[in-house]
Amino acid sequence: MGHQTHAVQTRSISCNTPRTAMPNVVSKQEIAGRSMDPEKLVSMLDTKFAGAYEVEMMHNTYSIRAPRELSNTEIAMCRR
């Protein structure tokens, strides 16, 4: 099974971006994708991190790199 990309990746920073271009990205977080609304998730990430994040989906799990982890409350706001 290959790597599956999700529509949210088109609104994130490319995974090929050198780490030096994103010095504030220090945290990696994985979130189960089964009840997440991708549009709400991207909106939350854009609001909180102004584009300074990476997100991809693989095996129904969102992998997010950002300056900090999303809180449980923030994650709950992104659910369907």
Q: What pLDDT was estimated at residue 51?
A: 86
Round to whole Å and give the CA distance between 72 and 80. 15
Q: Which pair of tokens denotes residue 5?
A: 């990309």
**Domain tally, the chain:** 1
Tell me the pLDDT tens digit for each residue of 54-76: 999 999 999 999 999 999 999 99
Q: What pLDDT was estimated at residue 23?
A: 57
1 occurs within a structural domain = no
In 3-state terms, what secondary structure has residue 73?
helix
Q: What pLDDT was estimated at residue 6?
A: 43
Q: What pLDDT was estimated at residue 26?
A: 85
2 occurs within a structural domain = no
Contact 79, 44 (CB under 8 A): no
| pLDDT < 50 regions, the chain | 1-20
Q: What pLDDT was estimated at residue 25?
A: 64
Round to whole Å and give the CA distance between 15 and 75. 22
Domain of 51, in residue numbers:
7-77
Instruction: Answer whether 0.75 is exceeded by the pTM.
Output: no
